Amino acid sequence: MNVGVLALQGAFREHKGAFERLGATVTEVRLPKHLEGLAGLVIPGGESTTMAKLMNLYGLDDAVSAFHAGGGAVWGTCAGAITLATDIAGRPEQPRLGLLNIQVARNDYGRQVASFETDLEITALPETFRAVFIRAPRITDVGSGVEVLARYDGDPVMVAQGGLIATVFHPELSGDDRLHAHFLELASG
């Protein structure tokens, strides 16, 4: 299976490594043409305003929306989850793809020094998953059609809607590839 990792900015190498350990072929996506033939795409963590600006510059905002409309699976982690969201609290002007029916509040778990790890119970995984939160957005509302797959302290931290997944933590940093395997299954389905 061939999956892509958006490679404009942020933690894309770690995602690539996880998929390669699972035997997938990974394309670094920097231009719309790199999406051709892919079953899925990860939008990694990083800085969501910078990432959205670069996506717009290279025409990847429209291309990723079209990729999703054509049946491609898309997984946004942290800044990638912000990029997917329909609603960014207090920042109506921030560019985003707006594909996933959630509201997020940027940096709402605190600053860099407040980064933390915790063991999450995730629907579809039999054992807990070590999750790393780094300046994570909080999912403050989920709209219709959105399924909550994990919560931390009552708030959703992993959600899905059709072929879209968002995690506000960094699954590529725990050395546990089960969520990457889950995404490959979604992308192949």
78 part of the interface to ligand GLN, by CB under 6 A: yes
Q: Among 16, 34, 96, 106, which residue sits at the site for ligand GLN (rule: CB under 6 A)? A: 106
Nearest Cα neighbor of 102 from 87, 81, 89 is 87
Residue 111: how many other CB atoms lie within 10 Å: 8
Q: Is 172 a catalytic residue?
A: yes
Residue 68 CB, nearest approach to ligand GLN (Å): 20
User: What SS3 state is found at 162?
Assistant: coil
Q: Is 127 a catalytic residue?
A: no
Which is catalytic among the residues 172, 180, 182, 185?
172
Of the pair 122, 134, the CB lying nearest ligand GLN is at 134
Which is catalytic among the residues 15, 68, 78, 180?
78
Q: How far apart are CA 130 and CA 75, in angstroms?
A: 18
Q: Give the position of tokens 């109506």.
A: 92
107 part of the interface to ligand GLN, by CB under 6 A: yes
Q: Is 182 a catalytic residue?
A: no
Q: What are the backbone angles phi and psi of residue 47, rounded to the nearest 5°?
A: -130, 115
Of the pair 16, 135, the CB lying nearest ligand GLN is at 135
DSSP designation for 21: H
| Residues recognised as catalytic | 78, 170, 172
